Amino acid sequence: MLKTEQKIDKSDLLKLYTKGYTKPDDFKIGLEYERLPVHAGSMCSVDYWEEYGIKNLLEKYAHEETWDYITEADNIIGLKKGHDTFTLEPGCQMEISTKPEKTIFELENKINRINEGLKPIADSKGIVMLDYGVSPYSTHKCIHLIPKKRYKLMARYLWGILSDVMMRETAGIQCCIDFSSEEDAMRKYKLANKLSPFMTAMFANSPIRGGVDTGYKSFRALSWLNTDNDRCGFAGKISEQFSFEDYIDYVLKVPMIFVNKDNNPVFINGDITFEEYMNSGWDDYFATVDDYELQANLCFPEVRIRNFIEIRNHDCVGGQLKYSIPAIYKGIMYGSSGMDECEELLKSLQYKDFSELRYNVPKNTLDSKIRNNTIGDYAVEILKIAEKGLKSLKTGEEKYLEPIKELTFYGKTPADIILQNWNGCWGRDLHKLVRYLASGI
């Protein structure tokens, strides 16, 4: 916006969040599911431009399944059909994002239909999609960015020692939940943040990277710890007093990477915060609401507030296990007493406890110590609360907890199963790991 035009203020920004108010009877659950495409033979990450690469795969899928292209500068960077999208992350990770649904059954049906169309196309090109949190063989130095200007500027700016790993190598699962008011949003936001280290531990699924055991059960979580502390981690200190305005203040104080002007990103390189941009402008422009939304999307906290709550801290996992993630949040956040019981479970823990756990969990997962207990002790109770909440909804969705219960109740994570096989019957054979991780599409 030119400086001669009217400035925006916080009241304009607050509307972005309050427009998300939803009646409890209309609450839905959303899932964003990233996977790693690799060549079945070489196990190398699939490149965008190569003959049997991601661009070609998207073109074929769009043609056969009648999806529309999402483009930038005439390059295909994703597909869309109605409210469902198939988009690319920086290193060609492929993300399915479906329209939120009332039940997890509907999410599962939608993802199954998408995968049924993708399977024969991927098979014909020798591509397998891995349900895994980090590239098992190719490392970031040989994974090219897709042709999207935003990602080039992010790669140029993000200063953490593992930011390139995060961008090019990792894949995760995100869950989205609704809220009915600011009070409800803040309660869910704070609880989701407190649950984040426990969820990261339960779904840890990235121990093998570059063909070797890294010593971490979630190398993906480690990469986020070393990406950019200005815009990652907890947004705020999960205090008892928190509001939409507090979250906006967090976004305003983060250095800006770039701003879009005339449909082109212009690099700012962290020279100003968004607060400074709002107050004084930059170059010939003042901030717009669109600029703020871009800035908010370039912040990557464990839990992000939009006109819904976006929970971001899970390694990609496969099969029915991926549906355990929304099942846990739905049981706790939408069930009759789930939030009350979880808040009671975690009430003795302070901010420093959750902060320390973020650093312990990538390596030790369920064995991480917290006061006189372990993460695993708490995780078992969290699952019991989620199951009780789902049963109170009487939808039958508690069945989606069974895959994670079979692991957590026995002190195991997906990474533990991989490491057991890696050091045992697989004989550290990467091909066997890749076959295990292939989602079957």
N-term to C-term CA, the chain: 46
Q: What does the mean pLDDT of the chain come to?
A: 94
Q: How many domains does the chain have?
A: 1
Position 2 in a domain: no
Position 3 in a domain: no
pLDDT band at residue 283 under the 50/70/90 scheme: confident
Position 4 in a domain: no
Residues 338 and 401 sit within 8 Å (Cβ to Cβ): no
Placement of tokens 């971001």 in the chain: 312
Domain region containing 45: 10-437
pLDDT band at residue 152 under the 50/70/90 scheme: very high
pLDDT in tens, 302-316: 999 999 999 999 999
In whole angstroms, what is the distance from residue 158 CA to residue 226 CA?
A: 10
**Residue 238, pLDDT above cutoff 80:** no
Position 199 in a domain: yes
Q: What pLDDT score does 318 carry?
A: 94
Residue 42: both structure tokens together = 């070489």
CATH number of the domain that 322 lies in? 3.30.590.20
Q: What pLDDT score does 92 carry?
A: 97
pLDDT in tens, 384-404: 999 999 999 999 999 999 999
**Residue 239, pLDDT above cutoff 70:** no
Q: What pLDDT score does 286 carry?
A: 86
In whole angstroms, what is the distance from residue 89 CA to residue 95 CA?
A: 7
Q: What pLDDT score does 4 carry?
A: 44
> Measuring CA to CA, which residue among 333, 246, 254 is closest to residue 296?
254
pLDDT in tens, 2-21: 554 558 999 999 999 999 99
Placement of tokens 């990103």 in the chain: 265
Phi, psi torsion values for 258, nearest 5 degrees: -155, 170
Position 5 in a domain: no
Residues 6+ apart with CB under 8 A from 139: 165, 169, 209, 210
